[in-house]
Chain A
Amino acid sequence: MVSPKQDIRIGFYVCHCGHNIASMVDCPAVAEYVGQLPGVVLSRDYKYMCSDPGQELIQKDIAEFDLNRVVVASCSPLLHEHTFRNAVAAGGLNPFLFHMVNIREHDSWVHTDRQEATAKAKGLARAAIVRVAHAKSLPVKKVPIHPDVLVVGGGIAGIHAALTLANAGKKVFLVEREPSIGGHMARFDKTFPTLDCAACILTPKMSEVGAHPNITLWSYSDVVKMDGYVGNYTVTVRRQPRYINEELCTGCQECIGNCIYKEPKFPDEFNEGLGKRKPVYISFPQATPQVVLIDPEVCLNFRHGVLTDKCKKTCVEACGDRKAIDFTQKVETREIKVGTIIVATGFKPFDVKRIPQYGYGSYPNVYTALEVERLVNASGPTSGDVILRDGRHPQAIAIIHCVGSRDKKTNRWCSRVCCMYSMKLAHLLKEHTGAEIYNFYIDIRAPGKGYEEFYDKLNEEGVHFIRGRVGEVTDWAMTPEEEGKLVIRVEDTLAGFVRRIPVDMVVLATGLEPQADSQDVRRLFNMSCGTEGFFLERHPKLAPVNTFTDGIFIAGCCQGPRDIPDTVAQAGAAAAEAMVLIDKGYIEQEPNTAYIQPDCSGCKSCIPLCPYTAIAFDATTQKAVINEALCKGCGTCVAACPSGSIGQNLFEDDEIFSEIDGLLTN
């Protein structure tokens, strides 16, 4: 259908990508074939097109052969389109007079027949050659970037990212769902393998966040809406009522002492329900912000969350002139403008009730790892004394590894941290109780600085390691010494027989899972999830903190299970990526916006289709008009226009029709 215009001079390059492409596609044959196509002035194959010499080759050829179009057949455009556009621009051509052909991800890597793969590569290249003739020069669109950053999630990842940015002079909004920042790390007793106290290394950072002039901390809040695009996001944050005025509360906690409930009565979330709190409480002593809150579900002044004013309000009396208690507080929404967003929403521990044979919930002395963290903690509900739920001190303790990890019935992935934290808990429990400790493992995974040495140290300490996945935890005694104990039934795969080991306490090393609402968060921020539900990075190796939406970055366990050092490193990387955008000062936008052509009949059918309300009707010209700043370039209106009067830069009708044509002509 389309014959290239006379003055089209195309340069074609096919990349070997070492052996990645060349082993399955006959690159010289593709180059030779394309060289004969009309409009192609020059056709080469080269080992690594993305390398400096490869890019220089393009630049040199543009000058020497007076090329005005360039096609590169190599990897996915999502990986290197930008690289080659820059090379084309450096050669003096408009960067959009370029088209890329994906013959690696879509061809050489997925096919097994060299002849067929080569034929496919030729077909794809031919389509690009026909299409690129229609390419137009387009301006690079630059929009300014808002310098403020939103960090979602106040665990160690969010805290570190926020502090890094704030210390660099950026204004940061840190939004945390819980009443205090700190996340899971704040609940840990010690950290492996150095055994430094988690609170001692975390709480100074938390206070720094609370006091930092560049950080606006909104705890007990969540993000409900995000609009806009990279550099210019509008975010709506919902702030839950604490029934305490944050500005007026001094954190003296006199209200807690004077609550009408003399004794704490309600399960304390921070201590995994092992301790009790009052209706007015502070999550933990070092909570940041240092502001109490009132739980309307259990406060006497409310009834099922509704204000009744029936309590004597001794707390208000105690607060006195500070007047910080405000029972009339309502949910508030705030709208903020930011340029970039770092999502660090963390993980959820595996729900051990999904494996009923381990007896959690049935046998009181079965604990999750996080409960044990609180149990051994000096500021925990028992002040660090390991007392079982039945009041005894354990003489023998079993730690079951891989609970909800590496299991086709639950989660297939390795949660990466459980081996190490299990060994840490083994050490701490031994230290606290002197009990015999049995670890039941599949494999010990200790790949980190000082991790293997920690494993060696535990072996020397006399902690037992038994290789085998535990079949069940039971209280059915078969011998007198098993009476009143929990019996671990396990096949010892090194000894080669089934063992029964009686213990007093069982610790389940729960794996890490995506947050329960990770799908909602993903939609909220326009991200993708992997099959397991963790947020998907743009590239597993080269863009691990970027997402497919520009300006949105991920850090920490929301992207996949990882330990604290890796989380901190990733949070720093996300902060640096955000600063790359901010310090540049502007965003280069893909010019793929739609535009109205003069033959628009003014039928208005496009107007309701646009999800961004970028299309309006101009009453004077009786035609539709597209606001380029609002258009995001999806092309839905282009496809829907009954008279074909809407064009889309980079995806014009004639470009796509010619690509179809090129794919199907032999």
Chain B
Amino acid sequence: MSELTSLPKADWTPRIVAFFCNWCTYTAADLAGVSRLKYAPNVRVIRLMCSGRVDPQFVLDALRRGADGVLIGGCHPGDCHYVEGNYKMLRRFQLLHRMLRDMGVAEQRVRLEWISAAEGERVKFVINEMTAQIKALGPLNLPQKFENWDREVIELARHVRQQEEISGVTMPTPAEKEAVHV
């Protein structure tokens, strides 16, 4: 499903929330800093002990609050500091991706990357690539989208009521109750 994006404002720049595991990817981001690599300033990192701690709700919450993308970084398969937390994340990520696809969120917006503590260059590459991809996609702006969807639902409800008045038959559920974000 394609995204319905509004045209970006002139000063819009992507906002990406990242969840990095303490042992590999956060350390890699530190290494990128120590090595003075330069990358796009669009990513804000939240440090967790393990990518296994990433609750899919964190990702959805970030998108709901206006993030244009979410980046999750963990240790390479087989290298998890906690043996297998990254595999647990991978499982959740597969499900989450299906759900996001159904919601119409482009796949590039939520990304899982294995970055080891030595791969400062990879941090730079992933952040730059993801920022460029999301710039091309435009703002996700889910809060605005929720409003638009709710407006659609209300509009639909009004239409149904009109139909009911014309036909004299009452529909069972009031559709406007589904609008929750306005």
Give A residues with C-beta under 8 Å from B.
Answer: 76-79, 102, 104-107, 109-113, 116-117, 119-120, 123-124, 127, 523, 526, 528-531, 536, 540, 548-549, 592, 609, 611-612, 632-636, 638-640, 648, 651, 653, 656-657, 659-661, 663-665
Contact = CB atoms under 8 A, between A and B. Distances in A.
Which of A78, A634, A661 has the most B CB atoms < 10 Å from its CB? A634
Interface in B71-107: 78-79, 81-85, 88, 92
A632 B22 CA distance: 13
B130 interface: no
Nearest to A105: B33
Contacts of A76: 30, 33
A640 B54 CA distance: 9
B32 interface: yes
Given A536-B118, A636-B85, A528 B53 contact: no
B82 A634 contact: yes
B118 A528 contact: yes
28 contacts: A76-B30, A78-B26, A78-B27, A79-B30, A104-B33, A105-B34, A107-B41, A109-B34, A109-B36, A116-B41, A120-B41, A529-B118, A531-B118, A531-B119, A548-B117, A609-B88, A634-B52, A634-B53, A639-B55, A640-B88, A651-B48, A656-B58, A659-B46, A660-B62, A663-B17, A663-B46, A663-B62, A663-B67
A66 to B, nearest CB: 29
B109 to A, nearest CB: 14
Contacts of A77: 47
Interface centre among A79, A110, A656, A665 (most CB of B within 10 A): A110
B82 A611 contact: yes
B33 A109 contact: yes
Given A76-B30, A109-B36, A120-B41, A634 B66 contact: no
A426 B15 CA distance: 61
A526 B117 CA distance: 12
Contact of A664 (B29, B66, B78): B66
A558 to B, nearest CB: 15
A127 B67 CA distance: 14
Nearest to A115: B41
Contacts of B29: 105-106
B49 A633 contact: yes
B118 A635 contact: no
Contact of A110 (B37, B53, B66, B92): B37
A540 B30 CA distance: 12
B181 interface: no
Nearest to B65: A664
A611 B86 CA distance: 12
Given A536-B117, A634-B53, A660-B65, A123 B44 contact: yes
A639 B74 CA distance: 15
B39 interface: yes
A475 B81 CA distance: 53
B45 interface: yes
B134 interface: no
Contacts of B159: none
Nearest to A637: B52
B61 interface: yes
B27 A656 contact: no
B158 interface: no
B30 A78 contact: yes
A227 to B, nearest CB: 10
A99 to B, nearest CB: 10
A210 B81 CA distance: 35
A172 to B, nearest CB: 26
A640 B78 CA distance: 20
A398 to B, nearest CB: 36
Contacts of A592: 49
Given A636-B85, A660-B58, 7 more contacts: A106-B30, A523-B79, A530-B118, A548-B117, A635-B85, A636-B88, A660-B17
Contacts of A653: 55
A293 B66 CA distance: 69
Nearest to B19: A656
Given A633-B49, A663-B46, A664-B67, A638 B55 contact: yes
A120 B44 contact: yes
B30 A664 contact: no
B24 interface: yes
A102 B118 contact: no
Contacts of A119: 41
A636 B50 contact: yes
Most chain B Cβ neighbours within 10 Å, of A78, A107, A648, A660: A660
Contacts of B116: 528-529
Given A112-B38, A661-B65, A634 B118 contact: no
A638 B49 CA distance: 12
Q: Which 3 A-B pairs have the closest CB atoms?
A: A105-B33, A635-B53, A636-B52
A648 B53 contact: yes
- Of residues B15, B26, B41, B46, which shows the largest number of chain A Cβ atoms within 10 Å of its Cβ? B41
Which of B53, B67, B124: most chain A Cβ within 10 A?
Answer: B53
A48 B53 CA distance: 33
Contacts of B37: 110
Contact of A639 (B27, B66, B82, B92): B92
Nearest to A529: B118
Nearest to A131: B46
B114 interface: no
Nearest to A528: B117
Nearest to A592: B49
Contacts of B53: 634-636, 638-639, 648, 651
B158 to A, nearest CB: 31
Contacts of A656: 46, 48, 55, 58
B49 A664 contact: no
Given A611-B84, A639-B92, A110 B46 contact: no
A529 B75 CA distance: 12
A636 B56 CA distance: 12
A639 B54 contact: yes
Contacts of B52: 634-636, 639
Contacts of B36: 109-110
Contacts of A665: 65
Contacts of B58: 656-657, 660
B107 to A, nearest CB: 21
